[in-house]
Amino acid sequence: MCKITNSVVANHGHYCIDLEGTNAILDNNIVYGCGCGGINVIGGVQKTLTPGSNIISNNEIFNYSRIVRTYNPGVNVQGVGHTIKTNYIYNAPHNGILTSGNNNCMFVGNHLKSLCFEATDCGALYTGNSWIVRGNVVRQNTFEDIYDTEKISLGWPSVQGVYLDDQMSGWVVEDNTFINCQTGILIGGGRRNNITNNIFTNCTLSIHFDNRGMNWQNVTCKPGGSLEQGLESVNYQHPPWSTAYPDIVNIMNEHPCIPVYNIFENNVYCETASEKFMDATSAQVQSWYSEASNNNPRCNKIYMK
């Protein structure tokens, strides 16, 4: 076991802490001034769902990505079964937490603030483009001041607190608070995501939900497309995958390009600029075999910044 606690790690040219292994603990450290990202953690085996069981907790991570301004997050997560909890990640031009190839990870009680201010098409917590990155939970985090402040030269501003991009599926996002975000959560055509009991205050839009697999991105979800190739790469119809995620066994026979079985329930929103909870209509949500219920506009001082 590797354990790093109560340390200051600063002004390194690349990642300030680069960890690859299992059962490590990084706790109560101060990490700042990194040329690239803050903490890079890799561990576990995705194909066998063998957990890495690394814990990144109670760290203060800020003013990173000084040299490479994008895709160098406060915490970069790869692998299986990691816990990222109660960290304070703030003041960086792009992502706070970036994940790829990870399963069964917990992101709990983190505070992500003043991020993505120098970019577009990004999220304070970003992941995307997979049907096998599943079983991850985003719970009781605070996303605050997540929007661009620099002028965008190409395209248009698109900054999210939680960004489940390009048909990312099988995530739970619950009991989080979004304060002063451009968009709270983006669901980009994904399936079986549970978005429940979140609070959105002073956001331009609480939730964006679309059906990109039914139109401009349908080549990825058709038989033989990149999403099915990912499934095949882990032998998804056999254990341990078929037992860990039984809902994916017949995924190619269950409307693979439609964003099915998403749940948006018991969320609260207040003073959104768009004056609505979601940009998809009720009819669209229903036609995509998803469900939105009991999401209420409610202003209360306890929710306000």
CATH of the domain at 36: 2.160.20
- Whether the CB-CB separation of 74 and 101 falls below 8 Å is answered with no
pLDDT reported for residue 152: 78
Q: How far apart are CA 143 and CA 179, in angstroms?
A: 6
Give the list of residues 6+ apart from residue 16 with CB closer than 8 angstroms, or none: 9, 10, 31, 32, 33, 34, 37, 38, 39, 64
Q: What is the DSSP letter of 242?
A: H
H/E element, 284: helix 282-287
The closest of 64, 54, 51 to 12, measured between CA atoms, is 64
Average pLDDT, the chain: 95
The closest of 18, 17, 31, 83 to 54, measured between CA atoms, is 83
- Whether the CB-CB separation of 186 and 162 falls below 8 Å is answered with yes
The closest of 276, 278, 249 to 263, measured between CA atoms, is 278
Location of structure tokens 């561990």: 43
Taking only the tens place, the pLDDT of each residue in 239-282 is 999 999 999 999 999 999 999 999 999 999 997 776 789 999 99
What's the whole-number mean pLDDT along residues 32-43? 98
Is the model's pLDDT at 300 over the cut of 60? no
Is the model's pLDDT at 64 over the cut of 70? yes
The token pair that represents 39 in the structure block? 């903490």
Confidence of residue 223 (pLDDT cuts 50, 70, 90): very high
Judge if the upstream peptide bond of residue 240 is cis by omega within 30 degrees of 0: yes
Q: Tell me the residue range of the domain where 273 lies.
A: 3-303
pLDDT reported for residue 304: 40
- Whether the CB-CB separation of 17 and 46 falls below 8 Å is answered with no
Identify the three-state secondary structure at position 228.
helix
Does the model's pTM come out above 0.75? yes
Domain count, the chain: 1
Location of structure tokens 């039914």: 214
What's the whole-number mean pLDDT along residues 27-52? 97
